[in-house]
Structure 1
Amino acid sequence: MWKADIIESPPGTSYRSVMEEYGYEVGKVIGNGSYGTVYEAYFTKQKVMVAVKIISKKKASDEYLNKFLPREIQVMKVLRHKYLINFYQAIETTTRVYIILELAQGGDILEWIQRYGACSEAQAGKWFSQLTLGIAYLHSKGIVHRDLKLENLLLDKRENVKISDFGFAKMVPSNHSLRSNSPYRQVNCFTHLSQTYCGSFAYACPEILLGLPYNPFLSDTWSMGVILYTLMVAHLPFDDTNLKKLLRETQREVTFPSSITIPQECKNLILHMLRQATKRATILDVVKDPWVIKFQSEQPTHEIRLLEAMCQIPFSATSNRHQSLDYHI
């Protein structure tokens, strides 16, 4: 792929002329966000279709431009995985930022469910195992997504998952005090806590809803539990129209409709992801889960080794932190 860096462009030119200058023929709009628009485009130099996210500096908040956008670009630069949307290039002018991304031509999984309803076990298993491999790769690099939802799971032309939208992603600081002789970057997936609220209420873990410091690795696996439930049932497990009701529901064991047949192994996995933080599945638990293994085309041996180095630490180092994640209403 071409170089992934930020290029400064002369001011005062329209977005189409800037794009043409770099070899992109901009086509139709394929998405809209708070601060910008996503277009389909043809990259003439490589003869490939791409997605171009055009962010208006006038519309965007200072926090987004100075904190979240640079972090998104920094994170995406280091990511290369078949189930993650690839970042190709960023171009900045005085009025706009252009992010060139891999194009996923199959829409998103939310649209698919709205059109076709609940997935078969085989379809849900395929997509969820691909999501799991993508998140195992992210977490093994010490990166958390923090905005996992069906709208951010795009599909390529072969209907394979492409995890997108790294606007809230974060590289968790490494902890060099643990096992300093280890060859792996030390990120402890039980002790790091975040305080920035990210994501959508319907996919947010209870500790985020309560405004508590939260473990972002475990907030990702909670969101994955919401995603798997919705793939199987075709509606969200929790009602997000009322925050008090949502809080109550997220602290009870999730129930499944009797009208839909869901394999017990799949139910067990969902229940393991949608539980209080001290007992919630990590991505290491998910990637090794018997139901997920059935659908994995390849065993992520390298990611598992990295995750084991990150997650298997003495209990005494985690017990106090764990207690701080318990919540009471």
Structure 2
Amino acid sequence: MPFGSWLIRWISRPFRGCLGESRRKGLNIENILRDNDRVMFVENGHGRKGILIFRQKVTKSGTGLIYAGVSFVDQLPVVFKVVKKKYRNLLLKEYMIMRSVWHRNVLPVWEIDFSIKGDLVIMRMDGAYYRDLYSYISAMKGYVTRALLDKWMKELVSGMCHVHSKGYVHGDLNYKNVLLTKDLSIRVADFGSADKKSKFKLTRYDPQFLPPELNPWRLEPIPYEYDPRLIDIWGVGVVLFFALTKHHPFTEIITMSSTDIHGNCPGETLIYEDDRKRCSPSYAKVVGKLMDYNAARRPKLNYIIEQNYFNETQT
């Protein structure tokens, strides 16, 4: 037993009176807890008390920490984003955005909880994913199959197109924010930088995923007339490029030298012949369009869907 019997009785107390008798009998705390587990007593905005079980720190994300764990009542795997009270409004905003852009290729969020002590705010998210796209590809010996590349292209473009259709911009899309389920389906996560298109400000980003036209504006507000959706569009292209080649674009002198002072570097020139042989014509075409160095030539994601690239015959 990971804790003393007195603690087991203590943990059981918050559920007395808020669960049916049959449900209480089904909760065997001794079988749920492990030796290194940590528990947190919480309540939601309606005063309903509960217990969260933390098992492993996963990473740091913006203003918070990400943990893997279990929801005590249903015993399903979940992911917790934990922030201090002073960042409460930012987490609540992220939660509301993720609820607003609910989609099969966006990571589901379940609930906001507050620690009983009142010093922490926790966002509960779906934990049924395998790993992030970066670590999955980096661990591979070979390259991603053509069929899986096409699957990822469809899912990532569809998911981000849905986000844009709801009027939001993600703003920090990169291959570590693209999660994979066990069946290797995509779930876009980390909307901590997201906002409405009309209110979006560049607050947090990975320089490797920042569109070239914004490089001069890294430390300043982006131009008023700039469409911030172009940030996500470029990010989708870079993620798909990495999925195909296993390396980041613009890391070779020859590639950088192909861009002139007017920004004329068509994205299609970034994909070498050997890379093209490992993906479908549609995949190469989409990546090339999304990574066009000239922002004016970079198409919106709904255009990619409307052009029927998803259904072209694979060769």
Q: Report if TM-score (shorter chain) is over 0.5.
A: yes
Q: Give the secondary-structure state (helix, strand or coil) at the position aligned to 2:131.
A: coil
Q: Give the secondary-structure state (helix, strand or coil) at the position aligned to 1:71.
A: helix
Match of 1:181 in 2: none
Q: Which amino acid aligns with 1:16?
A: V
Tell me how far 1:41 sits from its aligned partner: 1.9
Tell me how far 1:19 sits from its aligned partner: 4.7
TM-score normalised by length of structure 1: 0.68
- Structure 1 residues 197 and 248: CA distance shift in structure 2, 3 A: farther
- 2:68 is aligned, of 40, 43, 48, to 40
Name the CA distance, whole Å, in 2 between partners of 1:29 and 1:19.
19
- 1:104 is aligned, of 128, 134, 140, to 128
- 1:169 is aligned, of 194, 201, 206, to 194
Kept in 1: contact 2:61–2:190 (CA 8 A): no
Match of 2:40 in 1: 17
Kept in 2: contact 1:29–1:39 (CA 8 A): yes
Kept in 2: contact 1:206–1:251 (CA 8 A): no
- Structure 1 residues 248 and 113: CA distance shift in structure 2, 3 A: farther
- 2:139 is aligned, of 115, 121, 131, to 115
- 1:205 is aligned, of 211, 214, 222, to 211
Name the CA distance, whole Å, in 2 between partners of 1:195 and 1:83.
24
Q: Percent identity?
A: 21
Kept in 2: contact 1:104–1:156 (CA 8 A): yes
Runs (5+) with no aligned partner, structure 2: 1-37, 44-48
- 1:284 is aligned, of 287, 296, 302, to 302
Q: Which amino acid aligns with 1:87?
A: V
The residue correspondences of 1:248-267 to structure 2 (distance < 5 A) are: 252-254=265-267, 255-260=270-275, 261=277, 262-267=279-284
Kept in 2: contact 1:72–1:169 (CA 8 A): yes
- Structure 1 residues 229 and 129: CA distance shift in structure 2, 3 A: same
Kept in 2: contact 1:127–1:161 (CA 8 A): yes
Name the CA distance, whole Å, in 1 between partners of 2:208 and 2:80.
28
Q: Which amino acid aligns with 1:256?
A: I
Q: Which amino acid aligns with 1:95?
A: D
Tell me how far 1:112 sits from its aligned partner: 1.0
- Structure 1 residues 54 and 68: CA distance shift in structure 2, 3 A: closer
- Structure 1 residues 199 and 293: CA distance shift in structure 2, 3 A: farther
Tell me how far 1:34 sits from its aligned partner: 4.5
**Offset from partner CA, 1:121-164 (integer Å, 9 cap, x none):** 21111012111111121111111111111111111122211110
Aligned residues: 254
Q: Give the secondary-structure state (helix, strand or coil) at the position aligned to 1:239.
A: coil
Kept in 1: contact 2:88–2:121 (CA 8 A): no
Match of 2:244 in 1: 232
**Offset from partner CA, 1:154-180 (integer Å, 9 cap, x none):** 11122211110000111234xxxxxxx
Match of 1:273 in 2: 290
**Offset from partner CA, 1:46-84 (integer Å, 9 cap, x none):** 332211111235xxxx6xx27643431221232321111
Tell me how far 1:43 sits from its aligned partner: 1.5
Match of 1:91 in 2: 113
Q: Which amino acid aligns with 1:30?
A: V
Tell me how far 1:204 sits from its aligned partner: 1.1
Q: Which amino acid aligns with 2:245?
A: V
Kept in 2: contact 1:19–1:26 (CA 8 A): no
Runs (5+) with no aligned partner, structure 1: 1-14, 174-192, 296-329
Match of 2:149 in 1: 124
- Structure 1 residues 294 and 109: CA distance shift in structure 2, 3 A: farther
Tell me how far 1:17 sits from its aligned partner: 3.1
Name the CA distance, whole Å, in 2 between partners of 1:74 and 1:92.
16
Is 2:151 aligned against 1:134? no
